[in-house]
C-alpha cells in the first residue's frame, strides 16, 4: 500500500510540475510580434514588404521580452554544416527571404538552437521554445543568386526546436501569385 501511495504522490508532483512548466510557456502567434494596427500579409494578398510600412516593420512587442514563448514557423538556415543547423531564421511563410519579399523585422526571429537541429530541407516547419528577446540583428543569408542581408526583430537563444506538421497562422498565397508554387509545401 505504501508503494502505491508513493507512486500516486510522485505522479501528482510530476503533473503539477508539468502544469507549472506549461503555464510559464506562452504559445504565441505571428500577430503577437507586430503592432495590432500593422497590415497582415493576407490583407495585402502578398507578403508584407518592410519598406512599405510606416515604421519599416521595426516596432517590436516589448511586452514579450524575456518571456518563454513557443512559436511555430518555417526555418531558413543561416549557419549550417550539411544537415545540421546551428542558427536559422524563423519566418511566417515558406519562401520568405529567398523566393519572395522579406517580411518586416518584427516578423522574423533569429533562432540559435540549444543543440544543432537536423534539418532535411529549407523552410521546414518547426516550433521554437525559448526566451524571446526583442533585438534588431542582421544576418547574412546565402541564397542561390548571392548573399542577402536580413534584419530580424527578435532572437531566441538556446532554443528547443521540434518539427511540426502545421503552422497554425501561416500565410497561404493567392493562386494568381507568382509565388503560389510555394503553397504546395506542407502548411
Per-residue pLDDT, 16: 40
Query: Taking 80 as the threshold, does the pLDDT of residue 7 lie above it?
Result: no
Query: Taking 60 as the threshold, does the pLDDT of residue 1 lie above it?
Result: no
Whole-model pTM: value is: 0.74
Contacts of 6 (CB under 8 A, 6+ apart): none
Give tens-digit pLDDT for 8-50: 333 343 344 344 444 589 999 998 998 777 766 555 545 555 5
Confidence category of residue 149, pLDDT binned at 50, 70, 90: confident
Per-residue pLDDT, 20: 42
Report yes or no: 156 and 130 within 8 Å, Cβ to Cβ: yes
Report how far residue 72's alpha carbon sits from residue 166's, in angstroms, rounded to the nearest whole number.
8
Amino acid at each position: 500500500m505504501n508503494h502505491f501511495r508513493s507512486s500516486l504522490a510522485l505522479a501528482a508532483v510530476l503533473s503539477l510540475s508539468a502544469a507549472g512548466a506549461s503555464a510559464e510557456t506562452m504559445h504565441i502567434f505571428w500577430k503577437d510580434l507586430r503592432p495590432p494596427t500593422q497590415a497582415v500579409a493576407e490583407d495585402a494578398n502578398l507578403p508584407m514588404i518592410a519598406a512599405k510600412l510606416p515604421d519599416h516593420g521595426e516596432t517590436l512587442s516589448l511586452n514579450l521580452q524575456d518571456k518563454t514563448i513557443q512559436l511555430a514557423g518555417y526555418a531558413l538556415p543561416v549557419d549550417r554544416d550539411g544537415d545540421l543547423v546551428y542558427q536559422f531564421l524563423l519566418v511566417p511563410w515558406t519562401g520568405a527571404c529567398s523566393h519572395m519579399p522579406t517580411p518586416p523585422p518584427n516578423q522574423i526571429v533569429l533562432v540559435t538552437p540549444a543543440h544543432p537541429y537536423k534539418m532535411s530541407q529549407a523552410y521546414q516547419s518547426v516550433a521554437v521554445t525559448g526566451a524571446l528577446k526583442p533585438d534588431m540583428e542582421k544576418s547574412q543569408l546565402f541564397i542561390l543568386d548571392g548573399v542577402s542581408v536580413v534584419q530580424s526583430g527578435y532572437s531566441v537563444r538556446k532554443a528547443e526546436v521540434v518539427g511540426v506538421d502545421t503552422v497554425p497562422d501561416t500565410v497561404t498565397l493567392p493562386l494568381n501569385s507568382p509565388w503560389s508554387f510555394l503553397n504546395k509545401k506542407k502548411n
